[in-house]
Structure 1
Amino acid sequence: MPQPGNPPYEKEITSERIQRHGKELWDHVRARGTGINYPFPDHMTLRSFSLGEVAEILSVSDSYLRQLSIDGLGPTPELGTAGRRSYTLRQINELRAYLASARPKEALKFCPRRREGEKLQIISVAAGPARTTTAFYLVQGLALQGFRVLAVDLDPRGSLSEMFGYFPGIIPVHNASMYAAIRYDNYRASIRTAIRSTHFDGLDLVPGSFELGLFEEESSRRYHSENLRYPDASVRMVSAIKEVEADYDVVVIHCTPEYTFLTVGAFEAATGVLVMVRPQLADIASMAMFLNIFSHSVSLIEKAERPVNYDFIKFLLTRHDPRDVSQQEAVALLRDSLGDDLLTATVWESNAIREARLKKRSLYELSAGAVGRSAYEQAMESLNSTNAEVMDIISEVWGRPPIYVSQASRLTTAGKAKSRRLSK
């Protein structure tokens, strides 16, 4: 018999007992200071960029930047061995501001931030192979080009967050993800409380956390208790992002791999959607199934009399091996079906990208020697071309002329010419 004063746990059903254990353990962890807010001790830093790299990023000549430095114009670079100049990303952005002021006719080229009347671009990176890798390189590529970027990780496992040094799967956190801004109880807070800086100047992050899974459970309960009517999860996410609209040019939402209430919220908040597909028949079939789910989600939003008008829905080929004959046939099928909605650039299958991922870094953060120069240059060409297309799409939405694809093409051509000269 239970002792007098003990809780009547013997009346619990199994699900209630499991839930009680989870709550008690979480309360104990928080009471001991482990359930903390970000950031964590794993401090990340970004390397400096050589004068040649900065010239490529800004699309100006090495000699022009060198002369600016000699004349004392713009930020003062660090001088290394043999007087080699290098710049931090913050200094590159200072250079952008200086060049935009000194060369006003090219201001948009150097400083691409939103102008008055240009709306915030919110890109949902949806399900598909290399979803995390795509979001990771896109947000960093945008930041390197001078955009103010917010990355939102909706993955309860925090797969994107880990790439920025935040590890929700190892150390539990409390109210420090998008969950804080969209939760249903009285502890709901501003999205600003969840935004964290990263080691990339101009790039902030709303990390993922396991609490996003709690939100899914609560949304599911509300869904069934309200006679299968959707809870206001989507509206909450839209409102949360609206709160910081003035602070950013682009928001990139890293969706979960599953079909969830969070994913539907990301679809409603988005102004554009990027869908990944590997050029293999099984993956194309999987994407076709996802598109049916995507269509159903949008139809539910539309039935709630909230119109969905995307600026774009684009498809990106990832893990592409152009030497594989079967993949060539799959690419032809996709281009025939999707037309201009399929990006021209593809992300190639790359050992360099995989090696960088294992190091919890991107190729933007590493030197060529860290993964092998040839593999590094090939992967960077692929990634930069993809990011350039996305940036030109953003430019088109804002009513600007496209410049990034042609710029990436010039840099690639110049880089290959330079390599040939060095090899002689």
Structure 2
Amino acid sequence: MTEPIRIDRRIRDNAETLSAALQHHMLKVYAPDQSKWLRRFSAGEAADLLGISTSFLRKLHFEDRVPEVQTSPGGRRHYELQDIGAIRRHLATGAKPIPLPGRTPGDKLQVLSFLNFKGGSGKTTSSIHVAQRLALKGYRVLCVDIDPQASLTTLFGFRPEYDFLDSGTIYDALRYDDPLPLSQVIRQTYFPGLDLAPGGLILQEFEHETPQALIAHVQPPFFARMAEALSEVEPDYDVVVIDCPPQLGYLTMSALCASTGVMITVVPNMLDIASMSQFLQMSASMLEVVSNAGASMEFDFLRFLINRYEPNDGPQQQMVAFLRQLFGEEVMVSPMLKSTAISDAGLTNQTLYEVERSQFHRTTYDRAMESLNLVNDEVESLIQQAWGR
């Protein structure tokens, strides 16, 4: 007779085995004394981010109007993101100034929450690529990871299960017992202009502690705690991007109540859309409750972002048409195409903006990058519209 399996012990053994394997993989990708770093950009990429032509960028260098940058033996210029930022500031003070993209006096902080009830809809992938694209274009961006699984935090090169086991996450700023100022939690990243409030398993404690806090009437209540935390660092950023967990819990509600914009990611197939229908119904009911309790429910925009779209897939085309018929302009114009380039980049814990084009088949890379930029630049236009521009 076989010995019965102790499920708790077996799960713990599996967890430890997997954690050790992931640690080994990370050590192969990154040396123990090395952290992630951002690649340099070509002249064409720099010009695109600056909103000028490559020939005008060359002219700026020829006339010594901007500092020289690193060049290859063949004479090609390669730009650090800090170099691009310096040129952007120069262009903002020229004879025909190109305004800086961020907030001006009177513009409110834009807080974007990416969410869906169903896991695997591309929330984390979408949120980090939006955040990085905005940072590349000169915005001051803060990423907030409120998913206990902390995938966003991992993509920034941290190991949540080791680095933030007991402290150092956004939980420290949201907790009911002696919360820390958010500025003490925020980490600078290898990506200039892009900071992170990390996530981790400890965030589950917020879900467990909130019912007791509601009984004890702890202030501020759960739905106001994210907005309260963000208010301390509000002058330091133009945009906050929040990656929500795939559930409609207290953390998600707190993020929604702090948001000015909501991005609902959806894969265009029947199961995902049916799941989203349930998510929307539950959200409406719960948001009504917290609204009656005094929460602000006014958003500048709400959009459905089509993710992992395959243009040649007939059923997907029908589902996208179905969504556009139902929701009109609330469905984003640009869908995010399904691409092996993005998933392949993830194997080395990178995003598409971080990897070199030479690592992929050029057509695959260019197709994914074009789709990604169309989506993210549409998000940028929504932010600018919210600022009245």
d(CA) in 2 for partners of 1:180 and 1:379?
37
Q: Report what 2:380 is aligned to.
A: 391
- TM-score w.r.t. the length of structure 1 is 0.81
Query: Could you say if the C-alpha distance between residues 231 and 241 of structure 1 is closer, same or farther in structure 2, counting changes exceeding 3 Å?
Result: closer
User: How far 1:72 sits from its partner (Å)?
Assistant: 2.1
Structure 2 residue runs of 5 or longer lacking an equivalent are 1-31
Q: Report what 1:219 is aligned to.
A: 210
Q: For structure 1, which segment, 289-298 or 152-161, has the greater mean C-alpha deviation from structure 2 after superposition?
A: 289-298
Higher RCO structure, 1 or 2 (CA under 8 Å, sep 6+): 2
Find 2:150's aligned residue among 158, 165, 177. Answer: 158
User: How far 1:83 sits from its partner (Å)?
Assistant: 1.4
Find 1:200's aligned residue among 188, 191, 204. Answer: 191
Contact 1:42 1:166 in 2 (8 A): no
d(CA) in 2 for partners of 1:99 and 1:42?
35
1:59 aligns with 2:51: yes
Contact 1:222 1:231 in 2 (8 A): no
Find 2:113's aligned residue among 124, 128, 147. Answer: 124
1:330-409 equivalence runs, <5 A: 330-400=319-389
Query: Could you say if the C-alpha distance between residues 387 and 172 of structure 1 is closer, same or farther in structure 2, counting changes exceeding 3 Å?
Result: closer
User: How far 1:357 sits from its partner (Å)?
Assistant: 1.2
The one-letter amino acid of 2:83's match is Q
Q: Report what 1:72 is aligned to.
A: 64
Contact 2:91 2:97 in 1 (8 A): no
Structure 1 residue runs of 5 or longer lacking an equivalent are 1-39, 401-424
The one-letter amino acid of 1:310's match is F
User: How far 1:156 sits from its partner (Å)?
Assistant: 1.3
Structure 1 stretches (4+) deviating beyond 4 angstroms?
none
Q: Report what 1:257 is aligned to.
A: 246
Contact 2:223 2:295 in 1 (8 A): no
Find 2:168's aligned residue among 176, 185, 193. Answer: 176
d(CA) in 2 for partners of 1:349 and 1:167?
27
d(CA) in 1 for partners of 2:264 and 2:33?
34
Find 1:293's aligned residue among 282, 287, 298. Answer: 282
Contact 1:121 1:249 in 2 (8 A): yes
User: How far 1:230 sits from its partner (Å)?
Assistant: 10
Residues 241-264 of structure 1 deviation map (CA, whole Å, 9 limit, x = unaligned): 011111000001110112211101
Identity %: 39
Residues 297-342 of structure 1 deviation map (CA, whole Å, 9 limit, x = unaligned): 2112211123311101100000100100111110110000010000
The one-letter amino acid of 2:346's match is R
Number of corresponding residues: 355
User: How far 1:52 sits from its partner (Å)?
Assistant: 1.6
User: How far 1:279 sits from its partner (Å)?
Assistant: 0.8
d(CA) in 2 for partners of 1:257 and 1:112?
31
1:3-18 equivalence runs, <5 A: none
d(CA) in 1 for partners of 2:343 and 2:187?
26
User: How far 1:76 sits from its partner (Å)?
Assistant: 2.1
Contact 1:275 1:316 in 2 (8 A): yes
- TM-score w.r.t. the length of structure 2 is 0.88
Find 2:302's aligned residue among 294, 306, 313. Answer: 313
Find 1:139's aligned residue among 115, 131, 145. Answer: 131
Contact 1:69 1:77 in 2 (8 A): no
Contact 1:122 1:252 in 2 (8 A): yes
Residue 195 of structure 2 aligns to a residue whose secondary structure is: strand
Supply the RMSD in Å over aligned alpha carbons: 1.8
User: How far 1:81 sits from its partner (Å)?
Assistant: 1.7
Residue 283 of structure 1 aligns to a residue whose secondary structure is: helix
The one-letter amino acid of 1:203's match is L
